[in-house]
């Protein structure tokens, strides 16, 4: 995905509230995981915003996100557990946009999308 314009308010929030004390890739991954674990409210409905090789979902499909995947799976990207067509899946959070979710969930997912779309990594 193309790099977005810099959002200085979001950059500040991410650097000062989410990854503030993360100095290694592993610490950064854990910082994001802990932040999302604290701020996402499950379950929530989501729509697929993009296709990704790590997921069987297609654009515009809807899923019910039920939780974060195991922290060991989230060492390189954030994955969530989701239900789709009566199947339990693990898919990248970067692929999903919350439809019916509270404000903290929408903001946290939006921050994660921004991080990914800027090309940042752990």
Q: How far apart are CA 82 and CA 59, in angstroms?
A: 15
Phi, psi of 100, rounded to the nearest 5 degrees? -120, 100
pTM score over 0.75: yes
CATH number for the region 8-117 comes to 2.30.30.530
Q: What digits encode the pLDDT tens for the residues 21-62? A: 999 999 999 999 999 999 999 999 999 999 988 889 999 999
């Amino acid at each position: 995905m193309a790099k977005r314009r810099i959002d200085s308010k979001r950059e500040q929030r991410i650097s000062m509230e989410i990854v503030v004390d993360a100095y290694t890739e592993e610490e950064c991954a854990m910082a994001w995981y802990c932040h999302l674990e604290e701020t996402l409210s499950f379950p929530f409905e989501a729509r697929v915003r993009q296709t990704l090789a790590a997921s069987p979902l297609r654009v515009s499909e809807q899923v019910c996100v039920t939780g974060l995947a195991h922290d060991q799976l989230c060492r390189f990207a954030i994955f969530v557990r989701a239900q789709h067509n009566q199947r339990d899946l693990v898919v990248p959070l970067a692929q999903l946009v919350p439809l019916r979710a509270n404000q903290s969930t929408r903001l946290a997912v939006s921050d994660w999308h921004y991080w990914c779309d800027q090309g940042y990594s752990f």
